Amino acid sequence: MAFTLSRWLLGSTQTSSEFRRFLLLEMFIVAWVILAGTVGFHYLEGWSWFDSLYFLVITMVTIGYGDFVPVTTGGKVLTMMFAVMGVPLFVYTSSMIIDFRLRRYMDNYAKLVGKNISVPQKSWLNSFFSRGNNNEPATQDDKTEEQKEETTL
């Protein structure tokens, strides 16, 4: 199942192999975190394997129904660790998967239309956060006419 999912997510594309390796590493880390959390809740709280997995996934996707609540100190500490570290890891990995799928879509669209569409090498998340770090626009198109003239002089 996991191999089929990774083949669907990563299939053949023109996207760089470094990005693909990084995405596979992220998916492996998330899978390991889910496995470790499931084992932890199973032994600390005495829940069944499925209930432990269910609680962890519900916590990581920030739903939190409240039908399972850790009662032991160890379970509460584990919940806090997953809330602080697991949720951002899950969100970041999900955004990487979405970014990768959008890159594949753009590559396929460019082949279909027959035009060369430039796909940014940075992920949208990195582009979003790096855009506001300095006063320089992110691309040449974002520059005003005065800024374009300054760079040509």
Domain residue spans of the chain: 15-126
State which CATH number among 1.10.287.70, 1.20.1740.10, 1.10.3470.10, 3.40.50.2300 fits the domain covering 15-126.
1.10.287.70
Q: What is the pLDDT of residue 13?
A: 47
For 86, which DSSP code? Answer: I
The per-residue pLDDT for range 110-149, each reduced to its tens digit, is 777 776 666 555 555 555 555 554 544 445 555 566 555 5
pTM for the whole structure: 0.60
Task: Determine the distance from the C-alpha atom of residue 94 to the mean position of all C-alpha atoms in its chain, rounded to a whole number.
Answer: 3
Contact 100, 10 (CB under 8 A): yes
- Give the whole-angstrom CA distance, residue 56 versus residue 67: 12
The per-residue pLDDT for range 62-120, each reduced to its tens digit, is 888 889 999 999 999 999 998 899 888 888 888 888 888 888 888 777 777 776 666 55
Query: What is the distance between the terminal CA atoms of the chain, rounded to a whole angstrom?
Result: 58
